[in-house]
């Protein structure tokens, strides 16, 4: 009878260790999935912002107006001064040779004008280096997105 009581006490200690190890693994997986979903949210936000800038340029907005349109739409976790987002804006009539879309002459109010002609393709490429990337990932990625639309 004494031997079975001793074994129960030993098994109770082993069970506590098993629960602690299992709980720590489950907790790690929960936080891993949360962080990974935030990374995907940043990526999708960048894609949507790129499409909004391309849509704005295709409808004839100025460059700063198109960027403002994208930032007004943005509901993600990308920071709002675009210190980490680089936009490359260009246009083409045939889709093979691309020319920078930025006109050096600002329009009224300091906005940079959109020099893409109606009927031309407008291409917007963005890249973003997240600053709030989780530390347990070994490599910090650079997110890239692109959109092409025809100027109206």
User: What is the tens place of the pLDDT at every residue in 41-77?
Assistant: 878 888 888 888 888 888 888 877 877 777 776 555 5
Which candidate, 35, 22, 32, places its Cα nearest to that of 132? 35
Q: What is the pTM of this model?
A: 0.70
> In sequence order, which residues have a C-beta less than 8 Å from that of residue 132 and are 6 or more positions away?
77
The backbone region for 55, taken as left when phi is positive above 0, alpha when psi lies in -120 to 50, beta otherwise, is alpha
The residue with greater pLDDT, 81 or 41, is 41
């Amino acid at each position: 009878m004494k031997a079975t009581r001793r074994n129960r006490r030993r098994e109770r200690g082993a069970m506590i260790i098993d629960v602690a190890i299992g709980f720590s693994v489950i907790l790690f997986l929960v936080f891993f999935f949360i962080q990974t979903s935030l990374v995907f949210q940043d990526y999708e936000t960048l894609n949507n912002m790129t499409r909004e800038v391309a849509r704005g340029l295709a409808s004839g907005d100025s460059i700063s107006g198109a960027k403002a349109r994208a930032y007004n739409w943005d509901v993600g976790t990308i920071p709002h001064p675009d210190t980490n987002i680089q936009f490359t804006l260009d246009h083409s009539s045939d889709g093979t040779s691309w020319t920078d879309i930025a006109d050096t002459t600002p329009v009224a109010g300091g906005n940079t004008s959109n020099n893409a002609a109606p009927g031309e393709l407008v291409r917007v490429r963005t890249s973003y280096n997240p600053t709030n990337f989780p530390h347990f990932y070994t490599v910090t990625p650079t997110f890239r997105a692109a959109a092409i639309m025809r100027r109206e």
